[in-house]
Amino acid sequence: MKTAYDIIIRPIITEQSMEDLDIKKYAFEVAKDANKIEIKRPSLRSPPRT
């Protein structure tokens, strides 16, 4: 199984992505061989709010 370090390459830093931080929307470059399931895997998500 791939780790988050294998899937996420780097954050995408653009004017639009900086504006989206206010609504907690983040943009990352991901590995070309990663599929949607691996990207959405719960271990890659932030912990739930309490």
Indicate whether 50 pLDDT > 80: no
% of the chain residues with pLDDT over 90: 58
Give the integer Cα–Cα distance in Å for 19 and 44: 22
Instruction: Report phi then psi at 29, rounded to 5.
Output: -85, 130
E-state strands within the chain: 8-11, 28-30
Nearest to 30 by CA among 17, 44, 48: 44
- Kindly indicate the confidence band of residue 47, based on its pLDDT and cuts at 50, 70 and 90: low
Q: Which residue has the higher pLDDT, 44 or 35?
A: 35
